[in-house]
Structure 1
Amino acid sequence: MIAICATDLSAASEATIESETCLECLGRIGVEEIHLVTVIPSNVHAGMPGIDFAARREQALDRYRSVIEDADFDVEAHVVRGTPHRRINGIAEAVGASLTVIGSRGKSPLENRVIGSTARNLARTTIVPLLVNRIERGADEPAVVREHLFRRMLFATDFSENAERAFEAFSYLRHATQEATLVHVETPKDPALPEGADPEARLAELATKLEDWEIETRTAVHQGDPADEILAAEVEYEPTTILVGSRGHSRLRRLLLGSVSEDIVARADGNVMLVPPDRTA
């Protein structure tokens, strides 16, 4: 399995790359090759006064490469220019990646409304599963918020086709997962099941599959706003990562947050893994 690790050479990126437990978890799920991707924004130029971008970049990438190689991964580095999320997606497609990993310090009051960060742009455009690795905010030398990426998973499902696709990720996550909580949120605005269907029974079916893999599993049905209830479940169960499917978006949502998955990326305390729709379907 090939993984993309997107880095902007910030402290948040460094925390993701240099976390021994994060790398260990990637190895457990079958990642063998990691591609470091650094995107230079089009408005940044090497000749800008007072900043030696090239030297700083090479030093950082050499350090990251050494850390990853010491963890027994094959490593390639890509330095490209352009719009970060577009170039990251392009490289993911070109190398046949199965996962993109990006560090993010999480929410701020402004970020709760307007899409701006690379992590959130990737959340609505990614072509492969995206792991947003949450990093401490406000620390000079930040660390990852929750280690052992896949040890305790919170899987949120509306029983849609894309939610089923997200659940299939357990076929490889199971090698690093010990506990899982399966959550469905009932809402009168957008009924996810046919009339008379039993969400608890559907969750129990999914739980049986995970228990066959010796994953300790619980289920819960909530009522209310999906994003609010999923985040409440995160507080209650303290998973290391929330796993959710992303459904794709209208042109309006390219400007303002609207989907449950994007809301979770913006507001979750811990890591979030998004699985996009199958583009070939």
Structure 2
Amino acid sequence: MKAVLATDLSAASEATIRNETCLDCLGRIGIEEFHLVTVVPSNVHGGMPGIDFEKRRTNAIRRYSRVIEDAGFDVETHVVRGTPHRRIIGIAGTIGANLTIVGSRGKSPLENRVVGSTARNLARTTETPLLVNRIERGVDDPDVVRQHLFQRMLYATDFSENAERAFESFAYLRHATREATLVHVATPKDPDQESDPERRLGKLATRLEDWGIDAETVVRRGDPAEEILATEAEVNPTTVLVGSRGHSRLRRLLLGSVSEDLVGRATGNVMLVPPA
């Protein structure tokens, strides 16, 4: 499996790359090859401070590459110019990536608009599973918030087709997952209000237990994003796993929904699985 690891060479990105536990977790789920990507913003041009961004970033990304190679992975590096999320998506598609990884911390509401913008834009438009690796906020030398990426999973489902697609990610996540909490949030707008969510969650839990994962189920009622975040606070997972419906291209661009809320507001990591 191949992974794109996007870095802006910030402290948050460095925390993602230097963490050996995170690299070990990615190796367990089958990642063998990393493509380190850093994007020089398209509005940086001749005569502006920082014009040597390409050279500086190339030197920095080589250091990161050695860290990953020393952990036993194959690595390729890409220093490109353009709009970050578009170039990251383009490279992921070109190499046939199985996963895109980006670090995000959002130190303050203002910074979150800037530093977190790439993660949010990827959440809206990614065509491969996206892992947002949460980094400590408010410190000069940050570390990852959760050491073990996939050890304790919180899987949120509305029983849609794409939620099922997200669940199928356990086929490879199971090699690094020990526990999982499955949550469904019932709302007045649910198309299947008469369905039995406890039974349906129970069937999914049985599948996980067959894979050796301890599973529990939770049914809540209310606003989906708020209730999923409340469940995260209660069970303290390492990563929240969720699918994005995105029934149309327009809807994906205007996501503004549960999955984007989770990417922006979750305490820990978020893995977002887009539509096929």
What is the identity, as a one-letter code, of the residue corresponding to 1:228?
E
What is the identity, as a one-letter code, of the residue corresponding to 1:211?
E
Q: 1:77-226 alignment to 2 at 5 Å? A: 77-106=77-106, 108-109=108-109, 117-188=117-188, 190-193=189-192, 195-226=193-224
What secondary structure is seen at the aligned counterpart in 2 of 1:219? strand
Cα shift readout 1:39-95 (whole Å, capped 9, x = no counterpart) = 111111365336642442123111100110011100000111111111100000000
> What is the deviation of 1:172?
0.1
**Does the aligned pair in 2 maintain the 1:107–1:267 contact within 8 Å?**
no
List alignment gaps of at least 5 residues for structure 2.
none
> Are 1:24 and 2:29 counterparts?
no
Q: Which residue matches 1:260?
A: 258
Q: Structure 1 residues 148-157 or 133-142, which shifts more?
A: 133-142
Distance 2:39 2:201 in 1: 41
**Does the aligned pair in 1 maintain the 2:104–2:133 contact within 8 Å?**
yes
Q: Which residue matches 1:42?
A: 42
Distance 1:114 1:228 in 2: 24
CA 1:87–1:202: 2 relative to 1, 3 Å: same
Q: Which residue matches 1:270?
A: 268
**Does the aligned pair in 1 maintain the 2:5–2:37 contact within 8 Å?**
yes
What secondary structure is seen at the aligned counterpart in 2 of 1:132? strand
Higher helix residue share: 2
Q: Percent identity of the aligned residues?
A: 73
CA 1:232–1:51: 2 relative to 1, 3 Å: same
What is the identity, as a one-letter code, of the residue corresponding to 1:117?
S
The alignment's TM-score, normalised by the length of structure 1, stands at 0.92
What secondary structure is seen at the aligned counterpart in 2 of 1:158? coil
Cα shift readout 1:235-272 (whole Å, capped 9, x = no counterpart) = 000000000001226648746x6210001111100000
Cα shift readout 1:144-190 (whole Å, capped 9, x = no counterpart) = 011110000000000000000000000000000000000000000x2
Q: Which residue matches 2:56?
A: 56
CA 1:101–1:115: 2 relative to 1, 3 Å: closer
List alignment gaps of at least 5 residues for structure 1.
none
> How many matched pairs?
275
Q: 1:57-72 alignment to 2 at 5 Å? A: 57-72=57-72
> Are 1:237 and 2:229 counterparts?
no
Distance 2:121 2:200 in 1: 32
Distance 2:58 2:223 in 1: 46
Q: Structure 1 residues 258-267 or 42-51, which shifts more?
A: 42-51
What is the identity, as a one-letter code, of the residue corresponding to 1:66?
R
Distance 1:41 1:260 in 2: 29
What secondary structure is seen at the aligned counterpart in 2 of 1:25? helix
Q: Structure 1 residues 1-10 or 100-109, which shifts more?
A: 100-109
The alignment's TM-score, normalised by the length of structure 2, stands at 0.94
What secondary structure is seen at the aligned counterpart in 1 of 2:90? helix
Cα-Cα RMSD: 2.1
